[in-house]
Structure formats: C-alpha cells, structure tokens
Amino acid sequence: MRVKICGITNYEDAKMCCDAGADALGFVFYKNSPRFIGGRDAREIIKKLPPFITKVALFVNFTPTQINETMKFLKADIAQLHFDVNDEFVSKLNCKYLRVIRAKNKNDIEKFADEYKLVDAYVKEYGGSGKRVALEWFENRDNSKTILAGGLTPENVFEVGRYGFYGVDVSSGVEEYPGKKDKKKVRKFIEVAKYGLR
Ligand SMILES: O=C(O)c1ccccc1NCC(=O)[C@H](O)[C@H](O)COP(=O)(O)O
C-alpha cells in the first residue's frame, strides 16, 4: 500500500517522512489551514527531496490558471483538488491531478470511476479534520483506484488493509500538533499501512 503524508510545512518533517518510507508528500495551499505553506517555502523543500518521492500540491478554490502557474513554479508532480471540479475544469489543467471526493454517503464514492481519486470524509470546513469515512462503503468493490483519507491513525490503519486501496493519506493522525509531524507516529503509520500488524 502506498502512503502519502499530507500537511508538510518544513524540510525537517519532509525528510523524516521520506526516511520513514513515505511514497508521497502533500503541501497545503489553503490559507485558512494551520498546515498552510507558502509557494516559495514549498518550492525550496521540493527541490531538496529525493527523486522517487511524489510531490503533491493541495488546492482549494483555485482557478485552472492559478493551479497551472503554481504547479510550474513548485515543480510538483500532482495537483490535489480539494473542492468540486467538473470535467471542463480539469481539461484546462496542464498537470496530473487527483480529484477529492468529500464523501457524505456511499453513492459519492462511485464518482470518477475510471480515474484515480482520493476519498475523504465530508466536513463543512476544509481541512485535515480527523473525521473518518465509513469503511463498510468499500466492501465488495474494486478500490484499486482509490486513495483513502480521513481520520486514519497508526492505531486504526491496519483496518483498511483488506480493502485493496491504491493508497492511504494521513495528516492529523501523525502530528504532534497541527503543522508538525511526529516521528514515532509517522514511522508506525507507514509500517502498519505497508506491512500490517507484526
Ligand atoms: O490539512 C488541511 O488543513 C487541509 C486544508 C484544506 C484542504 C485539505 C486539507 N487537508 C487534507 C488532508 O490532509 C488529507 O487529504 C486528508 O484529509 C487527511 O486528513 P486527516 O483526516 O487529518 O488525516
């Protein structure tokens, strides 16, 4: 299982997550978030990251032009779109993207069936809220194009292993406090997500 650690705000945490075995890191460009990072700071971190780490930029309510410009500036790999976007919107993007389904019910997770997407729990305000998605929604279906997010922790991530997700995404569950990652939690989360309880 691939693991993305979201809400990176500093190089020390980024390096620690890479050393712990993360596959992808997320940078939040949403000013109201305690995990917000400015473009210049994110670019400096991205420059220093190892080559096989996927760099993901998170956007809320940006226009396609703003996303294209920011992605070019950052040299990030994937734009994660944390707001509702239609096919016309994504057709204007010059970069790889990941749409986020903020799921309120089981029907929601059927959207964008043919593309890789991230499913997060619906919360009114945007953000790594720690709220979980009901795992039973994913029973008896193909989850190989789904990245599961929302309320995952080192203690509960073993529960998702049997659903065949492409990957998992975590932010608040591996923090010391909002914006600061906790080394022990990151290590344990990645180990359990990738290898199960041992
Ligand atoms: O983290 C934020 O503050 C944030 C702000 C705006 C949009 C998205 C944001 N976070 C999303 C994520 O970190 C993850 O995709 C996911 O929701 C996991 O969050 P968590 O439940 O805290 O593990």
Of the CA atoms within 13 Å of residue 41, those in its CB half-sphere come to 13
How remote is the CA of residue 137 from the centroid of ligand 1, in Å? 20
List residues near ligand 1 (CB under 6 A): 6-7, 28, 30, 33, 35, 58, 60, 82, 120, 126-130, 149-152, 169-173
Spell 7-34 as b/e; 16+ CB within 10 A means b: bbbeeebbebbbebebbbbbbbbbeebe
DSSP 91: H
How remote is the CA of residue 156 from the centroid of ligand 1, in Å? 17
Q: What is the pLDDT of residue 128?
A: 63
The interface pTM score, or ipTM, of the predicted complex is: 0.95
Q: CA separation (Å) from 144 to 2, 26, 71, 148?
A: 11, 20, 26, 11
Count: domains in the chain: 1
CATH number, residue 43: 3.20.20.70
Q: What is the pLDDT of residue 123?
A: 84
Instruction: Quote the domain boundaries for residue 135.
Output: 2-195
Tokens of 78: 């994937």
- CA 100 to CA 107: how far, in whole Å? 14
- The pTM assigned to this predicted structure is 0.95
The pLDDT averaged over each successive group of 10 residues in the chain (198 residues) is 97 98 98 96 98 97 98 98 95 97 94 95 77 93 96 96 96 96 98 92
9 in Cβ contact with 30 (< 8 Å):
no
Q: What is the pLDDT of residue 47?
A: 97
Q: How many residues does the chain have?
A: 198
